Amino acid sequence: MTHEDRDAREETQRLQTLRQLLGPRVCHRLGVYALPEGFRLSVVIPVFNERNTIDEVVARVRQSGVPCEIILVDDASTDGTRELLESWEQSEDLQIFFHEQNQGKGAALKTGFEHISGDAVIVQDADLEYDPAEFRYLLQPIIQDRADAVFGSRFAGDSQRVLYFWHYVGNRLLTSLSNCFTNLNLTDMETCYKVFTREAIQKIAPTLRERRFGIEPELTAKIASLPGVRIYERPISYNGRTYAEGKKITWRDGLRALWCILRYRRGLRC
Domain boundaries, the chain: 37-269
33 or 45: which leads in pLDDT: 45
Please report the pLDDT score of residue 4 as a whole number.
Answer: 54
Specify the pLDDT at position 252.
77
pTM: 0.85
Asked if the model's pLDDT at residue 102 lies above 70, the reply is yes
Question: How far, CA to CA in Å, does 61 sit from each of 66, 81, 128?
Answer: 8, 18, 11
Q: Could you tell me if 81 and 47 are in contact, meaning their C-beta atoms sit under 8 angstroms apart?
A: yes
Of residues 174, 115, 151, the one with CA closest to residue 233: 151
CATH homologous superfamily of 37-269 equals: Spore Coat Polysaccharide Biosynthesis Protein SpsA; Chain A (3.90.550.10)
Average pLDDT, the chain: 87
Residue 1 has pLDDT above 50, yes or no: no
CA distance 116 to 94: 11
* Higher local confidence (pLDDT), 98 or 26: 98
Per the model's pLDDT, the better-predicted residue between 257 and 235 turns out to be: 235
pLDDT band at 121 (very low <50, low <70, confident <90, very high): very high
pLDDT-derived band at 267 (thresholds 50, 70, 90) equals confident
Q: Is the pLDDT of residue 209 over 90?
A: yes
Closest CA to 237 of 145, 133, 167: 133
The arithmetic mean of pLDDT across residues 107-112, rounded, is 96
- Among the ranges given (34-38, 126-130, 259-263), the one the predictor scored with the smallest mean pLDDT: 34-38
Strands 120-123 and 194-197: antiparallel
Q: What is the CA radius of gyration of the chain?
A: 18
Element (H, E) at 69: strand 68-74
- Can you tell me the mean pLDDT for 234-246? 73
Q: Which range is least confidently modeled, 40-44, 162-166, 263-267?
A: 162-166
pLDDT tops 60 at residue 268:
yes
Average pLDDT over residues 114-134: 95
Higher pLDDT, 80 or 172: 80
200: confidence class by pLDDT, cuts 50, 70, 90: very high
CA distance 97 to 111: 8
Position 34 scores a pLDDT of 76
Q: Look at residue 199 and tell me whether its pLDDT is greater than 90.
A: yes
Question: Using CA atoms, how far apart are residues 85 and 100, in angstroms rounded to an integer?
Answer: 14
Q: Which residues contact 48 (CB under 8 A, 6 or more apart)?
A: 74, 75, 76, 77, 81, 102, 105, 108, 126, 248
Q: 63 vs 241, which has greater pLDDT?
A: 63
